[in-house]
Chains A and B, each alone.
Chain A
Amino acid sequence: MSTSALAPSVFSAAAPASSPLRRLLRLTWHYRSACLQVLILQTTLLGLSLGGLSLVGLCVDLLRHALDPSAPAPVWPLQLSPPSSWSSSEQLFLLGALVLAMGSAYGLLSYAHGVQNGRIQHLRLVPELRASVFHKLLRLSFSYYDTSGSASIINRVTSDVQAARSFVDGVMLQGGVLALTLSVYAVFLLRANVPLTFACLGATPLLWWLTLRFSRWARGAYQKTRDLVDEVVRTMSEGVHGIVVTKVFGREAEELARFERRNQAVVDQQQEIFRRASHYSSSVHFSSQVNVAVLLGYGGWLVTQRRISLGDLIVFANVLTQFATQVSAMARVVNTLQESLAGARRVFEVLDAEIEIQSPRSALVPGAGGAPSLSGALRFDGVQFGYAGAAPALDDICLEVPAGSCVAILGGTAAGKSTLLHLVPRFYDVRAGSVTIDGHDVREFDVDALRRNIGVVFQETLLFRQTIAENIAFGHPEADAAAIERAARIAGAHEFIQSMPAGYATMLAEEGANLSGGQRQRLALARAVLVEPKLLLLDDPTAALDPETEREVLGALRRVMQGRTTLIVSNRLSALRFADRIVVLERGRIVEQGTHRQLMALRGLYHRTALLQGIGALEAGAGEALALADEITARGRAEPAA
């Protein structure tokens, strides 16, 4: 049963509708034999530790009987008394040897127990669960990522998986061990003396109840503390982030006061916790002392009545302390149960999430098995699209991009520019209408094959903490050094890579922090070029760059675009100058399209934007630009101040 290939089927259960509890039980069942081993070991350990304790009692009784023959004779367990010819000291040595032997056995078995327990958790459950959650995450569609924050997604693979697995070892195993321990102790004590057992343990349920109540309260309270502490840390890091603002406005005192309020809120919140926690832990201690007092009083009286032996009493005292430690174990199991259910719910949510974008049954794979490779003629036909539950972000989009040509899309924020791009590689699917490449609906292609034919450059590119070469070869890891360098040259990145300390082997910092914005975008271009895509989608690739870096990147773009169908999105006119045609989007609809000259003549949105960005003015020379600047200034000053 140790095949991890089996595991995913267990995790992504056939009946996702069933309750998390039942699925967790099924998960436990999957590891049943390992769990059973742990339980058997635990039982043996219990037996050994009780055996050790009885031997101590026996020893006391032996000594007492030897000193005072009127005291009750020692009772050896299971009628296994040594030959009567043995002297007291010989019996004593035998007992000592037995204690030592049991101690050694206990040590060995408890090692085995620890290792086996760790093996279930660390080598089986957690890696298998994590791998299957991660595996699924990589395949989930973008719409899933849109609706869940990245922190929450990361938590599902890390802490939620841990919480879910704690059901197996923290709830089922620990619960089993607890039940076993308690019943063994109870039986042991009851066998010694029934009324004494009840007298000593009578208050235990009350203690459990108290513990449960407290720990449930404390969990909420601690959560609140953690939130408040997070708030303190956030305030601190935000303050550091905005230190310039604080300094320039000279608001250090106000900022410190702002921080101080949050800092004090933590202390205020903690006071109540401290008060209750100290009362609680003190009363738990006291109650175990009361048990000892009952034992001394009632048990002592029983000894005087010769109903139990002195040795029994000592054993009782020791078992009682062991019993007391189980109180917190019980509270832990109950809390773990709640946490594991919550964690499991979030884990199962990922495992059950539907992969919206999938390849059809008989998918087209361009260039494979005699199928023609793509020429790259792109067409949008009456496309409508909206994000889950939202109003349409795109409506009635009809657009034709002939193979090898370049179309630019211009529009303000939320005009739907990027959304339009995302429909081509099926990051999302259209709501109505169709997107076709070479006359085939994109939904007819194999998704992976489709995406391999499309190169995408985003506004801000994520570079990975690998070497520059590995980052360029991201979409085609087997590419050789020559191909990587060729791509870098086309993207205008070769020169700066050469000047890096280790050239192509330079490690990038997290998110490429050791590169400038322009360098990052050129690497992104090289990455896209390397896969030799027929279609190139550029999602505002220069938006985050200053004008001079923008010029460098745009220069590289011209080479990259050669021989490919290109769709470029921007709200800067400077980025649109290579386009054969320009499309202006507003609120999800195409409002203008044509060449630059046609659009300027239209005197519409495009014209207005051009004026603002200074391009229109420049065509007519500086004079008009000055006039424009004056116009803006004048407008600013002329409007009434009140």
Chain B
Amino acid sequence: MTQAVRQPAAALAVKPAVERPSQVAERPLDFSIIRRLFACTRPYGRLRNWLLLLVVLRSVQLPTLSWLTARVISGPIHDRSASGIALGVVAFLSWAGFTAGCFVYRSRYALELGEYVVRDLRRAIYAHLLRLPMSYFKRTEVGRLLGRTVHDVDSVRTGVQDVFFVTVVQAGSMGISAALMAHYDLPLFLVMLVMAPGLWAVTRHFRKLSSAAYRQRSESFARVTASLAESVNGIREIQSFTRQERNAQAFALRIADHADLNMRGARLAAVFQPVLSFNGQFFLALLLVLGGYQVLGGRVELDALIQFLFLSTSFFNGIPIIGEQYNQALTAMAGAERVFRLLDTRPDWQDPPDARDFGRIEGHVEFHDVSFQYERGVPVLSDIQFSARPGESIALVGHTGSGKSTIANLIAKLYLPSAGRVCIDGQDLARMSGSSLHRQIACVTQQNFLFTGTVLENILVGKPDASSAEVEQALDALGVRDLIEQLPAGLHSPVGERGVGLSSGQRQIVCFARAMIASPRVVILDEATSAVDSVTEARVQAALQRLLAGRTSFVVAHRLSTILSADQILVLEHGRIVERGNHEQLLRLGGIYARSYQEFVSSRSIEAVSPGV
């Protein structure tokens, strides 16, 4: 009983309480995963070994403290020996002090080890993600995956810092208590031992039930929050269609549902606690009657009975604790398995080991019979063949899904063609290193993605070691320095998540500057569809022209003005180039381009704009 206090205090010391979904795998412990987890602690071998030593020591200390207590009571106190008592107290205190001293390091090292392993896993995951090619991100819902991985890494932490070490302490304490009891009175101990499997079974059964209940509860809670979030985000719709009553009713049902599940969990816990404690009481009665009877008969010493009273608690306490650890081990295992699976994802392709670096790129881009498919059997591009001379601007035109963006992606080597070759300056991209290409290529995407940070930090993504003079030069070259300086803190203005804090026009300008400072030889631009307000629009267009000037550029075009000013227009349909040439050539051709241009012109003619006139 002396270590009953262990629980709550330790609970305070453990890391912040995170709700972690405990998914119990239905299969037993997997030793290959355990080995691999163990390998994660290798960089901290010294720490781990010290911890192991401390833990073994503690497993001896805890039962001996109980033993000492009982020993003092049944020895000197029972015999009324004052000097014996004094000696016993001194021995007890010094042993307790030593135990406490060890415990400081035992808990600290465990926490540190867990934290280090978690840090390393997080880093490994992110580094691995950054290495994976775009195809992985296209087919995986990485956002959701990350959310789960964060949980998983946290359950791995528990596995690393708690499961093994706590089990060692408890098993050791149990073993030593058992040995001491057996030493005092073997038959009585054997009777006690019969209780252990029952207690173990009860604990395991309850854990199984409770983790199933927990899963149900968290699923139902997810439904509550989802419905809540939907209502909050859809408040405009709800109020404008006067749906308040109905939604309130639907939500009340969800809450009631969740409340029932919560209640079921509470009831389960309310059964388990008494069963455990009743088990203890039953055992106590048994001990008193059986042991007491033996004492009266003179077959057992009274001090042996007192030892049993103290040692049996430290023996039986261990069982539910180890049961809980076993459960956590399964959770950690499931988490670790998913983490490792992510880390083991093979990239679809990598730069070949003998990839060569590009020197300065001139910007001569060629596609030789290029085909591409994201999914097997669904061709996105077929037999694409074209050549763009250095400095030319190419407009890619076509319906959604015609393959415009895919061409851009292949030039940036975000994907490799399924067949054919993409060459820059006559070099097949597949044989060149991605990094040397990416230093000379820039891309402005439709989303105008910006990182959280400052405007300056975002521009520096294009060239991390650029001096402030270079940044200013780039802004001047784009003719947008005044637009950046207008921001509240100029270049140091903060950028929120996904560019919050900047208007769409400003975001675009920052993206241009980021591309500009990289002084790329090839520029890829996915034109934004939504219009910014007219004044900024003019500035954006002007800046764009300056960015593209003198560089080979590919524009996924949505705007007529962009198309009109291109040197070459590639008209795509179902992944094939169906027409090519400049605007006038294509009009003369009288094909798809000319037809849709005519349609476009007539649909926006004055008669359509104001039918009444």
Contact = CB atoms under 8 A, between A and B. Distances in A.
B234 A464 contact: yes
A107 B448 CA distance: 64
27 contacts: A52-B281, A59-B292, A106-B278, A107-B275, A131-B252, A139-B244, A142-B235, A233-B150, A245-B461, A249-B443, A250-B439, A255-B130, A267-B119, A278-B107, A285-B3, A285-B100, A299-B77, A300-B72, A324-B4, A324-B5, A328-B11, A573-B609, A597-B606, A609-B534, A632-B542, A641-B477, A641-B546
B293 interface: yes
B248 A134 contact: yes
Contacts of B606: 596-597, 619
Contacts of B231: 134, 137-138
Nearest to B286: A96
B242 A451 contact: yes
A294 to B, nearest CB: 8
A609 B610 CA distance: 17
A208 to B, nearest CB: 13
Interface stretch (A13-21, A63-71, A198-206, A430-438): A63-71
Given A115-B270, A280-B12, 8 more contacts: A100-B282, A100-B285, A142-B236, A277-B111, A464-B234, A545-B529, A595-B613, A625-B561
Which applies to chain A's interface (DSSP): helix, strand, loop or mixed? Answer: helix
A236 B142 CA distance: 10
A279 B296 CA distance: 46
A639 B296 CA distance: 110
Interface string B154-168: 000000000000000
* B: contact size bracket: 35 or more
Given A56-B309, A274-B112, A110 B277 contact: yes
Interface stretch (B254-262, B339-347, B363-371, B378-386): B254-262
B531 to A, nearest CB: 6
B561 A215 contact: no
Main secondary structure on B side of the interface with A: helix
A387 interface: no
A256 to B, nearest CB: 6
Contacts of A577: 604, 608-611
B156 to A, nearest CB: 14
A38 to B, nearest CB: 12
Contacts of B233: 150, 462
Contacts of A277: 12-13, 107-108, 111
A325 interface: yes
Interface in B288-328: 288-289, 292-293, 295-296, 302, 305-306, 309
Nearest to A318: B1
A107 B514 CA distance: 70
B609 A310 contact: no
A242 B248 CA distance: 38
A278 B282 contact: no
Contacts of A461: 237
B5 A114 contact: no
B468 interface: no
Contacts of B302: 60, 63-64, 67
A474 B237 contact: yes
B412 A248 contact: yes
Contacts of A52: 281, 284
Most chain B beta-carbon contacts within 10 A, residue among A95, A545, A549, A633: A633
A281 B69 contact: no
A82 interface: no
Interface stretch (A119-127, A360-368, A396-404, A487-495): A119-127
A95 B288 contact: yes
Interface stretch (B27-35, B79-87, B420-428): B79-87
Contact of A154 (B78, B232, B445): B232
B13 A103 contact: no
Interface stretch (A73-81, A185-193, A218-226, A498-506): A218-226
Interface stretch (B91-99, B206-214, B569-577): B91-99
Contacts of B127: 256
A25 interface: no
B609 A576 contact: yes
A131 B449 contact: no
Contacts of B13: 277-278, 280-281
B134 A238 contact: no
Given A110-B273, A255-B130, A286-B100, A118 B266 contact: yes
Interface string A592-623: 00011100000001001100111101110110
Interface in A233-267: 233-252, 254-256, 259-260, 263-264, 266-267
Nearest to B276: A107
A162 to B, nearest CB: 11
A96 B439 contact: no
